[in-house]
Amino acid sequence: MSSCWGNKVKISIFGESHGKGIGVVVDNLPAGEKIDMEQVLMHMGRRAPGKDKTATPRLEKDLPQILSGMLNDTTTGTPMCAVIENTNTRSGDYGNLLTAPRPGHGDYPGFIRYNGFNDIRGGGHFSGRLTAPIVFAGSVCRQILEKKGIKIASHIQSVGKVCDSKFNPLKVDESLIDSLNKQSFPVIDPSSEPKMREYIENARMSQDSTGGVIECVATGVPAGIGSPMFGGVENLISSIMFGIPAVKGIEFGAGFAITEMLGSQANDQYAYDENGKVVTLSNNNGGITGGITNGMPILFRIAVKPTPSISKPQQTVDLTKHENTELVIHGRHDPCIVPRATVVAESALAIALINLL
Amino acid sequence: MSSCWGNKVKISIFGESHGKGIGVVVDNLPAGEKIDMEQVLMHMGRRAPGKDKTATPRLEKDLPQILSGMLNDTTTGTPMCAVIENTNTRSGDYGNLLTAPRPGHGDYPGFIRYNGFNDIRGGGHFSGRLTAPIVFAGSVCRQILEKKGIKIASHIQSVGKVCDSKFNPLKVDESLIDSLNKQSFPVIDPSSEPKMREYIENARMSQDSTGGVIECVATGVPAGIGSPMFGGVENLISSIMFGIPAVKGIEFGAGFAITEMLGSQANDQYAYDENGKVVTLSNNNGGITGGITNGMPILFRIAVKPTPSISKPQQTVDLTKHENTELVIHGRHDPCIVPRATVVAESALAIALINLL
Amino acid sequence: MSSCWGNKVKISIFGESHGKGIGVVVDNLPAGEKIDMEQVLMHMGRRAPGKDKTATPRLEKDLPQILSGMLNDTTTGTPMCAVIENTNTRSGDYGNLLTAPRPGHGDYPGFIRYNGFNDIRGGGHFSGRLTAPIVFAGSVCRQILEKKGIKIASHIQSVGKVCDSKFNPLKVDESLIDSLNKQSFPVIDPSSEPKMREYIENARMSQDSTGGVIECVATGVPAGIGSPMFGGVENLISSIMFGIPAVKGIEFGAGFAITEMLGSQANDQYAYDENGKVVTLSNNNGGITGGITNGMPILFRIAVKPTPSISKPQQTVDLTKHENTELVIHGRHDPCIVPRATVVAESALAIALINLL
Amino acid sequence: MSSCWGNKVKISIFGESHGKGIGVVVDNLPAGEKIDMEQVLMHMGRRAPGKDKTATPRLEKDLPQILSGMLNDTTTGTPMCAVIENTNTRSGDYGNLLTAPRPGHGDYPGFIRYNGFNDIRGGGHFSGRLTAPIVFAGSVCRQILEKKGIKIASHIQSVGKVCDSKFNPLKVDESLIDSLNKQSFPVIDPSSEPKMREYIENARMSQDSTGGVIECVATGVPAGIGSPMFGGVENLISSIMFGIPAVKGIEFGAGFAITEMLGSQANDQYAYDENGKVVTLSNNNGGITGGITNGMPILFRIAVKPTPSISKPQQTVDLTKHENTELVIHGRHDPCIVPRATVVAESALAIALINLL
């Protein structure tokens, strides 16, 4: 299914960038869960465009309308639908002709996939705007998880070659999680932010863009969650993460670096901690072995490619004239979507985890 | 579902390492496909243990018995079941007590997940032996794909820090594919093999193990396959790849390295080639944008961690005595499963692709 | 999944009777299908309440808003969402206490299922109003099927003990189908209507209600559709039909009556017709054997129970006081929902068939 | 998926009548469930052919081999596979030509569906023999349900026009359930059996066959199980029941007869019983309203058509010569499969219920 995900709590996302609205149906949520809508809006604000660090996280124009599934701020247990109206709808007929597909975007593959009938205005269903419903759904799921002691956070691990500190893989402090959860430019080491912003600004000034890596963590997930072989935690998390536009890689624990370790370094050895709980002495497996959680923090990183929309001239094809051409994309573009993508990744993680529990 | 995968062609894998047998049901294969069983056995031989490079690829003891779904070497279209008998079955009652879980294995999470009732002998359902049914199913799917012009190959990109050449992301020669498909230690640059083998041997001599990276490619996949947002090619491939034990990461195209590029470097610009076909001038997206194929080679890499079973003493817990203890794993272990895992990855890719087409 | 259905074209229905709105997401429709929205509204009108035979089929208040998936009246191929606003929304807090569950309704089971948190106003998500999104989605699918030569119709086979003629199981005339498709009280034999209406009116006058049987047909479905054992046409059709509130039975072809035939009577013998097409000489199997279509009309009947909401006093329990009590349901109720349910059944059939093709 | 069913506990059935073997994979069973294999074999014996009432229920030739998922007669929680060898396998090449499709069978639709490549010997994958794996899987699930206080039974409601008594819809005695569970010709009123047997014998003597109705019950299912709209108990039960060959209808509670009742008769009114439990005073809804259980017995009936294989000459087509022809089916055939189908229905019900709990 193209835009559906989940087997216990299922999300079904709809909408095109310039249609009447976008949104999500969340089916099979548990009944009776009180949801703090301000928190949901706070997270949606972290994803919303057109802000900088000091801006209010609440943007009226992206306010979700909850059509069903909530009563007195409490889940009813029947399907929840939230709609975000598009305010940039143009009425009337218009040409939907794709001439010059933008490199790095879904334009050309989408043109083939949909025989030219998909809505290409603003990226249509491929638009990054479609991550807003993920954040809505994920922010609801996240609150349900929090009541079970599960916390989720992420930070910008790197922008281009500028790196932040990493999470302590053995224990992530609650205070750090809480602090990251409120930021629209979440970094662990505050000194990373100006350097990253400068790097982004440089890219922007040269009519270019930059990508980065996001590191995500979930703490408090009990041991024994997930199933071999294809019902594993890594299978599920990766299958939803690649639904976030621009994600090109995912690695759990030490990830690709584990391939350069010896087994004796890579293996997470066990011990009882002071409370008699089984812990591991390292966390190169990101809290998961055999597809199942071991009670340590779930830790992974995703690679986010540079924003494909850049002002620099690019080579492309003219699909109507069947000839090569040059493309210049006009308008203001986000030179780096990594900061806004952090809360999207957290939300997708929340949706994945609620399906595993 | 734990060991089921697929929505068009579905595989359902079963078996434990020391049970009566392991196998797979492949449901909903197209009818009327002639299958060359020698080819299937050749690929299964590439995965089979206990061989070296010069050994016969056909190991009688891992011969799959096809119980259904084939008639006159042709698919009937109804479910195909293949069973591989275990010859190491011990009869009678016995203790199934897990005392000291092996670091890096699924022992401890499995113990929690199954309340201690899962079969732990030889790893049970977590055993790498369970990849044999994947290779069986994938080798059948692969032949069906080949008739549509789709070819699959992989090579050992690295073992520890020893690297092979990479695939040309724009075009992978058929002769290279054909050659790699026959090897049990597939590398592009033949000079990599002795260096890798030496590295592995060194790990083995120090009672240790090593991991590596496998690079996979599929050529001939037409543009327009896959769907945003969660029905994308990356979502599906990653969700099956993490079903292969020891895989800790996956990256498509340039993968994590794309995060250090600028947009102008990362974007795969379009042009018409000499045959009037739309191609890209680079392939940093691994043949996929917006979740959909663009007609270029599908290219990805998976990170395989070092074999967790090592002879070196390791710290672990005694779950019956509730105390810390030391573990020494006896017996001969594969110091590096990367070569054998190549054909498993190729097979999983074939299963993923047949579900997308 | 509670309110999701389908594996190729998936519908996800949401909404509660007194919430802000109800609707449906239809995922994975083919792209480029021109949809006549007047036709969709005509069918929605056949289901809409508050009309009689002569009323306009288009009721403004149930107009679906299409938020996505359509452009220039053509499917984009990405998810289609339609929302129908509820005009009876009451704002503010209110009690959601269920005291006396109505016999025959989902009140009591829903109370247990959702721990009392589901919205019970007007039946909430159990309301017959939730069939409007089915009709929307089904009416879109139906037009796509029609272009493939597949036509769908239904008629009121019986109301209480008053029966209509039956479809000719071997061939249903197009003119009959077209005529039934326009009626909000579809019967084959026009003389049935006044008798049925009288029967309904008598029930209403005695503060009671009545049920009936709906007979459905799909013509033009090619042979070879469906799969044994659980992917059969009967499996899929039945699994969606029981999603229509009040349906208590389904039978294909001769249905329960086939059990009283001998094999020689029940078997549908084959012959070539004048056009060299394989046909059957009877159609006791309703166009399906072995779960697969044989090219004859698909024919089935569903049993619709009497409307549970009646004015007559009924015995029930007071769940707050934990004692038996008497319930009188006030307000105007539809004494027979069978006529309105015909188009719902047709729509559900369309959704089932588009998933099979 | 053709022969897969379930979303929590999934069965994947494979095999052809004359292939090497048939069987089932049961994925995601709970771990640690002790299974009495004698009980499983007893139920499989009730389905097995070639016996009469006095025969031993244990037929060695249909003994399932359990390849995985069981250890010390206890479920491991990982996939369970059971294989039943076919002893009638013929080796070597042979013709698989379908000339004259048997009326009432899946021959012709299967020929179209599989382009003539499916195994037609003995019905292939369409054979009633494929219900043996259902009984195996269901008999395992049934024992797990029994520990939760859920009991399942069925009886032959009718053969042709000869009827048995019906279940008391409000309460089915445990002793009756236990007694029916042991019978291979289960009837409530013992005097029905000789009349039914005579009816069947008469059909057989006239080279004909007969069908019947099976009534099923599940007691002890708690209220609150199932979900509107498509996750309802009726949706799930019906979707698996139509996987049993020859089933042409299903009705819950009063079923089709409810359409002739008035609402005041049909509605199941509520009351507290002597133990303070909410019960209904009638059970015309078969224990289900709004798709959810209400705590009363789940009750339904399925229509089983007469065995299509009869010795009487029948009209059919010669698909190779493209002309009409006459068919005489030789060999001994079961003139009535209804008795053997009872335990198949019970088993399918067990599989459905374990997916709902």
Q: Which of C54-63, C235-244, D219-228, D292-301 has the lowest mean pLDDT?
A: C54-63
pLDDT digits (tens, 9 = 90+) for B102-151: 999 999 999 999 999 999 888 899 999 999 999 999 999 999 999 999 99
Give the model's pLDDT for residue D53.
Answer: 45
DSSP state of C124: G
- CB contacts of B13 in chain D (<8 Å) are 79
pLDDT digits (tens, 9 = 90+) for B49-81: 866 543 444 444 678 999 999 999 999 999 999
DSSP reduced 3-state for C321 = coil
Domain boundaries, given as residue ranges, for chain C: 4-356
Nearest residue to A96 via CA among A21, A2, A3, A18: A18
Q: Which of A49-63, A104-118, C83-97, D84-98 has the lowest mean pLDDT?
A: A49-63
Give the model's pLDDT for residue A61.
Answer: 64
- CB contacts of D231 in chain A (<8 Å) are 28
Give the model's pLDDT for residue A329.
Answer: 86
CA separation for the pair C73, A178 (Å, rounded): 47
Instruction: Count the residues in chain C.
Output: 357
* Residue C228, min C-alpha distance to chain B (Å): 8
DSSP state of C223: T
CB D200 within 8 A of CB D336: yes
* Residue C288, min C-alpha distance to chain A (Å): 27
pLDDT digits (tens, 9 = 90+) for A269-278: 999 999 999 9
pLDDT digits (tens, 9 = 90+) for D178-207: 999 999 999 999 999 999 999 999 999 999
Kindly tell me the burial class for residue B7, based on how many C-beta atoms sit within 10 Å of its own C-beta (0-12, 13-18, 19 or more): middle
What mean pLDDT comes out for the span C151-160? 98
Q: What does the block give as tokens for D261?
A: 């009742």
List D270's β-bridge partners, or say none: D280
CA separation for the pair D123, C230 (Å, rounded): 17
CB B168 within 8 A of CB B175: no
Q: Which site among C35, C67, C97, C114 would you substitute to test the A interface, given the most A Cβ atoms closer than 10 Å to its Cβ?
A: C67
CA separation for the pair A258, B246 (Å, rounded): 10
pLDDT digits (tens, 9 = 90+) for B219-258: 999 999 999 999 999 999 999 999 999 999 999 999 999 9
DSSP codes of every residue in B26-56: EESPPTT-B--HHHHHHHHHHH-SS--TTS-
Residues above pLDDT 90, as percent of chain A:
87
Q: Which site among C227, C355, C356 would you substitute to test the B interface, given the most B Cβ atoms closer than 10 Å to its Cβ?
A: C227
User: What is the residue type of A199?
Assistant: Y
The residues, ordered by sequence, that sit 6+ positions from D112 with a Cβ below 8 Å of its Cβ are C222, C223, C224, C292, C295
Is residue C61 very low, low, confident or very high in pLDDT (cuts 50, 70, 90)?
low
Give the model's pLDDT for residue B191.
Answer: 97
DSSP reduced 3-state for B102 = coil
Give the model's pLDDT for residue A157.
Answer: 98
- CB contacts of A228 in chain D (<8 Å) are 78
Structural class in CATH, domain B4-356: alpha beta
In this structure, the strands spanning B10-14 and D4-5 are: unpaired
- CA distances C12 to A187, B33, C90, Å, are 38, 36, 25
Kindly identify which residue of chain B lies nearest to residue D89, measuring between CA atoms: B67
CA B63 from chain centre, in angstroms, equals 19
- pLDDT for C94 beyond 50: no
CB D156 within 8 A of CB D167: no
C28 in contact with B, Cβ within 8 Å: yes
- CA distances B109 to A224, A225, A289, Å, are 5, 8, 7
DSSP state of C136: H
What mean pLDDT comes out for the span B22-47? 96
Report pTM. 0.96
Nearest residue to A163 via CA among A187, A130, A128: A187
The helix (run of H) or strand (run of E) holding residue A68 is: strand A65-68
The helix (run of H) or strand (run of E) holding residue B10 is: strand B10-14
C297 vs D93, residue with greater confidence: C297
Give the model's pLDDT for residue A58.
Answer: 41
pLDDT digits (tens, 9 = 90+) for D24-33: 999 999 999 9
A70 preceded by cis ω (within 30°)? no
Name the H helices within A2-91.
Answer: 37-47
CA angle C302, C305, C306 (to 5 degrees): 140
pLDDT digits (tens, 9 = 90+) for B93-109: 445 557 899 999 999 99
- A4, A158, A232 ranked by CB distance to B242: nearest: A232
Is residue A87 very low, low, confident or very high in pLDDT (cuts 50, 70, 90)?
confident
If phi over 0 gives left and psi between -120 and 50 gives alpha, with beta otherwise, what is residue A20? alpha
pLDDT digits (tens, 9 = 90+) for A43-74: 999 998 866 543 444 444 678 999 999 999 99
Kindly identify which residue of chain B lies nearest to residue A283, measuring between CA atoms: B104
pLDDT digits (tens, 9 = 90+) for D134-166: 999 999 999 999 999 999 999 999 999 999 999
- Give the Cβ contact number of residue A163 at 10 Å: 17
Place of tokens 């000091």: A54
The helix (run of H) or strand (run of E) holding residue C174 is: helix C174-181
Is residue D60 very low, low, confident or very high in pLDDT (cuts 50, 70, 90)?
very low
DSSP state of C34: B
CB C180 within 8 A of CB C153: yes
- pLDDT for D131 beyond 90: yes
What mean pLDDT comes out for the span A209-225? 98
Is residue A93 very low, low, confident or very high in pLDDT (cuts 50, 70, 90)?
very low
- A7, A78, A228 ranked by CB distance to D7: nearest: A7
Q: What does the block give as tokens for C243?
A: 């999603």
C2 contacts A27? CB cut-off 8 A: yes
- Encode chain D in three state secondary structure: CCCEECCCCEEEEECCCCCCEEEEEEECCCCCCECCHHHHHHHHHHHCCCCCCCCCCCCHHHCCEEEECEECCEECCCCEEEEEECCCCCCCCCCCCCCCCCCCCCHHHHHHHCCCCCCCHHHHHHCHHHHHHHHHHHHHHHHHHHCCCCEEEEEEEEECCEECCCCCCCCCCHHHHHHHHCCCCCCCCCCHHHHHHHHHHHHHHCCCCECEEEEEEEECCCCCCCCCCCCCHHHHHHHHHCCCCCEEEEEECCHHHHHHCEHHHHCCCEEECCCCCEEECCCCCCCEECCEECCCCEEEEEEECCCCCCCCCEEEEECCCCEEEEECCCCCCCCCCHHHHHHHHHHHHHHHHHHHC
C162-165, long-range: CB within 8 Å, 24+ apart, which pairs? C162/C192, C162/C195, C162/C196, C162/C199, C163/C192, C164/C188, C164/C189, C164/C192, C164/C196, C165/C189, C165/C192
Q: What does the block give as tokens for D239?
A: 């979707």
Place of tokens 């052919």: D49
CA separation for the pair C199, A16 (Å, rounded): 49
| Mean pLDDT of chain D, nearest integer | 93
User: What is the residue type of B210?
Assistant: T
- CB contacts of A25 in chain C (<8 Å) are 12, 14, 25
CA separation for the pair B173, A119 (Å, rounded): 37
Q: What does the block give as tokens for A100?
A: 């010059």
Give the model's pLDDT for residue D94.
Answer: 47
CB A299 within 8 A of CB A169: yes
CA separation for the pair C327, B346 (Å, rounded): 66
Establish how many alpha carbons lie within 13 A of residue A164's alpha carbon, considering only the half-sphere containing its beta carbon: 28
CB B139 within 8 A of CB B350: yes
Q: What does the block give as tokens for B119?
A: 């079969």
Chains A & B: contacts with CB separation below 8 Å: 389
Give the model's pLDDT for residue D269.
Answer: 98
Phi, psi of B41 (to 5 degrees): -65, -35
CA separation for the pair C230, B95 (Å, rounded): 39
B227 contacts C28? CB cut-off 8 A: yes
CB A213 within 8 A of CB A157: yes
Q: What does the block give as tokens for D235?
A: 């949706």
A99 vs C222, residue with greater confidence: C222
Q: What does the block give as tokens for D289?
A: 């309203």
Is residue C57 very low, low, confident or very high in pLDDT (cuts 50, 70, 90)?
very low
Q: Which of B92-101, C75-84, D12-21, D204-213 has the lowest mean pLDDT?
A: B92-101
Q: What does the block give as tokens for A208?
A: 């270019």
ipTM value, please give it: 0.96
C205 preceded by cis ω (within 30°)? no
- pLDDT for C54 beyond 70: no
| Mean pLDDT of chain C, nearest integer | 93
| Mean pLDDT of chain A, nearest integer | 93
CA separation for the pair D44, D140 (Å, rounded): 11
pLDDT digits (tens, 9 = 90+) for A179-204: 999 999 999 999 999 999 999 999 99
Instruction: Count the residues in chain D.
Output: 357
A76 contacts C27? CB cut-off 8 A: no
CB C212 within 8 A of CB C185: no
- CB contacts of A231 in chain D (<8 Å) are 28
Which chains contact A through at least 3 pairs of Cβ atoms less than 8 Å apart?
B, C, D
